A and B are shown apart, each in its own frame.
Chain A
């Protein structure tokens, strides 16, 4: 049996990202909205195990201190070691606050810990994407199955609607939708709205694939046999025909999920996503939108790195999934 290291790596990365998202309250050292006024745009604090004298220690950081506020210059206080504390105070890692905050990925312009916001933001960004993917797959599978199984007018209508949704300029639809909604939306309202909107925008893609699979499979001998044995259309569809689209749906999931992660980021980036101070990866990237951020505060791009890693993990994982081609080949062939 051939070893497949890349899908394994993808699964491992995906597992890590999922773990961080699930355990976010335990991993993030601070409340994501907490502002450390004297640490605006502070750089990341690097953990060390060897001090300047070459002696080994348990992991520690050097506290940073403000040198010039206007120039946002900070220095490490190399005379002071702050040992990282593990599992204390209900968080994975923390430091004695008397020496200043622990900023593993630096701070944003309001002095908020980027690491805490990134970890907390993973819940929303990944959560809304997973929910939207499930929504798109369920709706797409049902519509596609109905269209492929019944054919005729239902098929034509469903596929025309799917085509219509695909050609809609999504950003304008979202803008129009946002305009008719209340001015202030809570985080949970935004969460469900985004998931619903993205899910409804994504269903045509799996629907078209499922429709094609079902349209072929329903004429197969095993389906005819089931029909001859008295199975009803629902039983034939759900028990015999639809399972043939499992591989396709899996592939679609690995395509839709990363695109929804990016869509959430895009919508939040343009101000249509989660409101302040709720952290999501896209909302966090708003601040990194200036080209000078790359020079002055590259740590603000941490959400971009998280998105790249998540999408990459999904793509690597997808490499280990049965492709549509293999799924179709594996299906019974009518000679």
Chain B
């Protein structure tokens, strides 16, 4: 007889659902325990202890020069060191492996004095020969991923080593950011890699199967254990050269374990439950904030405000030659159409709904988080539906059939698609809001979430209408982002890699950026860059809506953290981060 069994299963289902809802309700209203005193903030950092963090991808090679991945960058940050470093808090250039430098009067030659007595983690002394080797390898290696970022006007720097403690850099032309250009270049051990370079196998050197004892660096840590797709364990480099103000040798930590946790939800759960001390990969998503806030109120972790993000998501349309030649929807490439979109979108709604208020409206690529280069004078169209409709009409779009939606001159509906990254809640939700807000001015938008790879493939083939996406950048100085600003740049998203500027306004931006990059007068640079931003804000090849406020979560065991909005928000200063020791 089936009836009793069905009754039982029905009862079970209903009870299960009720139990889940009750548990959820209870958890949401759990009384908040008083927060414990915060020893992490009150006490001076001490040496010793260990922390664990999470990262969303694994290193596939230990050779930073051929690895563009975020994991490769993290690995280099922890185990290698550059000659100079940009302090992310002050945005000033600091001596690092080089203890000082001088600049020639014409601004073309930098002479760097290296620190005395430094040694790689395997004990071999560090000299200017290692710097020569590193930059020689950087420019000579076919697969080098760092070379383009270390050129000025497409030309490499000339590097000389007059003696073991001195390095000279000759710039091909005046370049305002100066040595900031080489901040991202880690110095490699010549004694370990020269043979591979000579044999033509440098790209394969320090691959994932290399014994960890073969690796050597000048960074605060050495990689002591790597279990693929599970964890990387970093131990203190006993030969690290830095000490704090009290003379304590850095790094403070004995050990840093980085767990590979690809799923962001799992990562958040681990963080909330105390399974990890920090999330190396990034900030708290707005939708997770309430969960972390509750955990912080219970005294389980701390929330750190790192300020307004420097990276802003952008909506761009395909303005490549093939798209411009397409006569089917000419309005899609018109400036008035892009301006209408900018006017039709209420940025504050995006700030309030997607970021839950933890963001600021923006109108260009430079957010208020970039204190040096942000220009409040560059503003775009505020929310103005009447103006948006006027602009759309000037682009040839009007409601010809009285259905409330716009059509073009041929009677075809004014319809386009936005590709965005599947699973990225900020981008997906912003796209949904754009869809709804543009519907109010009669535009039909199809939001198509795609995997990042599929989206990139369509971008490269110019097989899209528009894309809402964003990239991470650590550089604050716009002269260090030529790939975006110059028409020839690979990240000139709307029409990348142009042999010649396709439009007059792109030619003008190219010229302004070249001049501001070459000028050594800060005021002149500001003026030129403001002009370039103003052109971009008028032409709107890319439309910007909001920049998030970056909030980070760390456990109560993390001490001396210096949060910044750029990734990696905490481990950029990995040698000074400390652990609170259990008493």
Please list the residues of chain A having a beta carbon within 8 angstroms of any beta carbon in chain B.
Answer: 4, 6, 33-35, 37-38, 40-41, 69-72, 109-111, 183-184, 271, 275-277, 289-292, 294-296, 298, 301, 304-305, 308, 312, 315-316, 319
Which of A6, A276, A304 is the one whose CB lies under 8 Å from B432? A276
- Contacts A291-B269, A319-B3: A275 and B447 contacting too (C-beta < 8 A)? yes
Assess whether A275 is in contact with B448, with CB atoms less than 8 Å apart.
yes
Least Cβ distance of B366 to chain A in Å?
25
A275 to B447, CA, bound (A): 7
Q: Using Cβ atoms and an 8 Å threshold, which residues of chain B touch A271?
A: 422, 449
Stretch at the interface among B22-30, B152-160, B385-393, B466-474: B22-30
Interface assignment of B534: CB less than 8 Å from any CB of chain A: no
A290, A291, A304 interface centre (most CB from chain B within 10 Å): A290
Q: Number of contacting residues on B, CB 8 A?
A: 46
A6 contacts B7, C-beta separation under 8 Å = yes
Besides A35-B349, A183-B417, A294-B27, 5 other A-B contacts (C-beta < 8 A): A35-B433, A69-B357, A111-B353, A184-B417, A294-B24
CB <8 Å contact, A276 and B290? no
Task: Please report the C-alpha to C-alpha distance between residue A111 and residue B437 in the assembled complex, in whole angstroms.
Answer: 13
| Cα distance, A316 to B13, chains bound together (Å) | 13
Q: Which of B268, B269, B358, B436 contacts A70 (CB 8 A)?
A: B358
CA distance A315 to B439 in the complex (A): 41
Q: Which residues of B contact A (CB under 8 A)?
A: 2-3, 6-7, 9-10, 13, 17, 20-21, 23-25, 27-28, 265, 268-269, 286-291, 293, 349, 352-353, 356-358, 417, 422, 425, 428-429, 431-433, 435-436, 439, 446-449
Bound CA–CA A86/B533 (angstroms):
54
A109 to B13, CA, bound (A): 27
Given known A-B contacts A40-B353, A111-B353, A316 and B447 have beta carbons under 8 A apart: no
B352 engages A37 (CB within 8 Å): yes
State how many angstroms separate the Cβ of A244 from the closest Cβ of chain B.
Answer: 22
A290 to B358, CA, bound (A): 21
Q: Which residues of A contact B7 (CB under 8 A)?
A: 6
Q: How far is the CB of B131 from chain A (nearest CB, A)?
A: 47
Contacts of B431 in A (CB 8 A): 276
Q: Are A295 and B28 in contact (CB under 8 A)?
A: yes
Query: Which residue of the partner chain, among B13, B28, B357, contacts A308 with CB atoms under 8 Å?
Result: B13
Whose C-beta in chain B lies nearest to the C-beta of A316? B6
Asked if A72 and B353 make an inter-chain contact with CB atoms under 8 angstroms apart, the answer reads: no
- Are B435 and A277 in contact, CB atoms less than 8 angstroms apart? yes
A110 partner, pick from B21, B24, B429, beta carbons under 8 A: B429
List chain A residues, Cβ under 8 A from B6. Answer: 6, 315-316, 319
Contact of B290 among A71, A291, A301, A304 (CB under 8 A): A71
Residue of A nearest to B450 (CB): A183
C-alpha gap A304/B20 in the complex (Å): 12
Q: Is the CB of A70 within 8 A of B352?
A: no
Interface pair B436/A296, CB less than 8 Å apart? no
Nearest to B293 among chain A residues (CB) is A71
**A298–B352 CB distance below 8 A:** no
- A296→B286 CA distance, assembly (Å): 12
CB of B422 within 8 A of CB of A316, answer: no
* Measured CA separation A319–B7 after assembly (Å): 10
Indicate which residue in B2, B17, B291, B436 contacts A292 across the interface (CB closer than 8 Å). Answer: B291
**Is B352 in contact with A69, judged by CB distance below 8 angstroms?**
yes
Tell me if A35 and B353 are in contact (CB < 8 A): yes
Measured CB to CB, the closest approach of chain A to B70, in angstroms, equals 23
For residue A70, which residues in chain B have a CB less than 8 angstroms away from its CB? Answer: 286, 289-290, 293, 356-358
Q: Output the least CB separation between B380 and chain A (Å).
A: 20
- Please pick, from B25, B290, B436, the residue contacting A277 in the complex, using a CB distance under 8 A: B436
Residues in chain B near residue A277, CB distance under 8 A:
432, 435-436
Q: How far is the CA of A4 from the CA of B290 in the complex (A)?
A: 48
> Which of A71, A275, A304, A305 is close to B446, meaning CB atoms less than 8 Å apart?
A275
B23, B286, B287, B429: the one contacting A294 at CB < 8 Å is B23
Question: Could you show 30 A-B contacts with beta carbons less than 8 Å apart?
Answer: A4-B3, A6-B6, A6-B7, A6-B10, A33-B439, A34-B436, A35-B436, A37-B352, A40-B353, A69-B357, A70-B290, A70-B356, A109-B429, A110-B353, A110-B429, A183-B417, A184-B417, A276-B432, A276-B447, A291-B269, A292-B269, A294-B23, A295-B24, A296-B290, A298-B28, A312-B13, A315-B6, A315-B9, A316-B6, A319-B6
